[in-house]
Amino acid sequence: MPLAIDPDWLIFATLLGYSAAVILASVLGGLMPEWIRLTHNRMQIMISFVGGVMLGIAVFHMIPHSLASLGAGRIDQVMWGLMLGMLATFFLLRSFHFHQHGPADFGILAEEQAERAPGETAAHAHDHAAHHHSHAHSDVAERCEHGHPTGHGGRETTRWMAVLTGLGLHTLMDGVALSSGVVAEVGHLGHGTLPGFGIFLAVLLHKPLDAVSITSLMHPVTTPNRRMLVNIGFALMCPLGAFLFWIGANQLSGAWGSSLAGWGLAFSAGVFLCISLSDLLPEMEFHSHSRFQLTAALLLGIMAAVAIGLVEGEHAHDHAPPVTNSNPVE
């Protein structure tokens, strides 16, 4: 039974609640390097679980909802949106190299690993973090005889700013995913069911990992106040993308607004697929020492995505495109 409430108000209230939760999760994630020591294995288990959730949400939720919004006869449009989302994310990753998570891969723990004795066990010689960041030790040697850095700080500042730029753009796209999911589902779910909840859960779980990637890089070369300022600014990017997309969709007449929501879902599904696979595929080469734990975490994440679909029910995928504030286009 459709929800008996003004669609615009429901979208606004839902996005506001989701945004508050995402901001809180992102800020807390960015503060993790200040509070706790994140080991490589713990970080990879978290990444595997979240990657599984994102993969499941893209396949079982976002693509079906996109088809429902655009119409079953427009599967080619869904695939174009999917491909554009994947390519956009790929080029962001290629340009900014931002999707490397947290102290387990770089920043605080990477510096500690670089200072270990050269005789460290060969079992970790192929470790993913060491593979990508083996230059950390050489940075220490670039200090002058008075102990001052000779360019290391400048390179690290450029590095975290590039990561912030890439993740900021990626986070705006997460906001589009969140908003398009809510817009597509509002008015077609049963009472007590939150529109766009599956996408919200994937974004909520992923934002702390993104935030910790930025603040851990900032940690050696910035002050706590500056890290907090950047952390809060980054957390606001997802709600910004969500509300901008909603406002844009609301300005379009009925069917056009619904088509934009469908395209947004297809594009965002491509983003989710690219991001999740960029997390999961390296495990096969670099994390064979924990393959059972990581595989279990991946499957648990996919099962969580499937469970969300069971809560929503089949009717969530059987709706016509929603209309928010105007009559459908004839």
The answer to whether position 297 is within a domain reads yes
Q: In total, how many domains does the chain have?
A: 1
pLDDT of residue 163: 82
Tell me, what's the pLDDT at 325?
45
pLDDT of 189 reads: 55
Assigned domain for 145 exists: no
How would DSSP label each residue in 146-205?
Answer: TS-BSSHHHHHHHHHHHHHHHHHHHHHHHHHHHHHHHHHHTTSS-TTPPTTHHHHHHHHH
Contact indicator for 71, 317 with CB cutoff of 8 Å: no
With a cut of 50, list the residues of the chain below it in pLDDT: 1-3, 102-151, 191, 315, 319-330
Q: Distances from the Cα of 295 to the Cαs of 100, 149, 284, in angstroms?
A: 19, 42, 10
Q: Is residue 271 part of a domain?
A: yes
Question: Cα torsion at 156, 160, 163, 168 (round to 10°)?
Answer: -160
Q: Does any domain span residue 299?
A: yes
Q: How far apart are CA 14 and CA 180, in angstroms?
A: 12
What's the pLDDT tens digit per position in 33-84?
777 766 777 788 888 898 899 999 999 988 988 888 887 778 999 999 999 9
Q: Is pTM, for the whole model, over 0.75? A: no
* 132 in a structural domain: no
The count of C-alpha atoms lying within 13 angstroms of the C-alpha of 237, restricted to the half-sphere facing its C-beta, is: 24
- Specify the pLDDT at position 327: 44
Q: What is the pLDDT of residue 253?
A: 58
Rounded CA gap, 151 and 204, in Å?
Answer: 36
CA distance 7 to 3: 9
In a domain, 95, yes or no: yes
pLDDT at 267: 92
Nearest alpha carbon to residue 155 among 167, 141, 139, 143: 139
**Host domain of residue 69:** 7-31+48-102+160-317
